Amino acid sequence: MSALVLIHGAWHGAWCWRRVLPGLRAAGHGAHAVTLTGVGERAHLLRPDLRLRDHIADVLGLIDAEELGDDLVLVGHSYGGLVMTGVADALLARGLKPRHLVYVDAVTPHPGESWSSQHAPETVRARLEAAAQRPDGAMPPPDAAVFGLDGADRDWVNRRQTPQPAGVYQDRLDFDAARIATLPRTFIDCTAPALPTIAVMRERVRREPGWQVLELATGHDPMISAPEALVALLLDCTR
């Protein structure tokens, strides 16, 4: 059986996978959700100098502590796709080869790109200006309606979201693209509604070789709006 490590996106935490973990574990897999430093239940660790390398280290620390080197499936949501790519590159450098990388409506970087690299200039400017107005220098969370959520789900996510460390927004990731390309990679495209900031990634994975693309007719937070469907797709990636 596989061990799945679930890496959340911006403003979220391990809490967002709550509806997904039971299904993965019921199928016999190990499932581990990590919270990145500065958000979620680790929001008290928010500081201006947090960087992408710290979030990569968070995930590597979980993998090391749980001794998950064998039969490992990495799952990254949104910003978590950037973190996951850095984690996979570090594991490959150690001689460990993850079984599968699953990008859930996520950033699929090229070497030297950041989370913000493919965002519209007005989006980058608005996020950085919002962060600059806060004492903690963090990016305030958007209303969860932009993720296609409404009703109780929207309220639940809005209550739990926390400001995102702004230092990770423009940090560029250097990695060995040829090495990453040796791994099976799946992109789960959440299409209803489609989040505009992921548009470049949707086009990229359909244009470049080596990608399996699966569509899910739900919004950007499928672990909340369509957990059963997401579990089914993740289980397919363990086979």
- Residues in a beta bridge with 100: 73
**How many other C-beta atoms can be found within 10 angstroms of the C-beta atom of residue 133?**
8
Whether cis (ω within 30° of 0) applies to the bond prior to 135 is no
Active-site entry in 2, 78, 114, 225: 78
Q: Where does residue 159 fall: left (phi above 0), alpha (psi -120 to 50 degrees), or beta otherwise?
A: alpha
- Farthest-apart Cα atoms in the chain, separation: 47
Q: Give me 46's structure tokens.
A: 């928010």
DSSP state of 136: T
Check if 2 is active-site. no
- Of 159, 157, 133, nearest to 145 by C-alpha is 157
What percentage of the chain's residues is helix, strand, coil (to nearest 5)?
45, 15, 40
Q: Can you tell me the distance from the alpha carbon of 11 to that of 128, in angstroms, rounded to the nearest whole number?
A: 15
Q: Give me 151's structure tokens.
A: 């009703």
Helix (H, G, I), strand (E, B) or coil at 6: strand
Q: Can you tell me the distance from the alpha carbon of 92 to that of 55, in angstroms, rounded to the nearest whole number?
A: 17
Residues belonging to the active site: 78
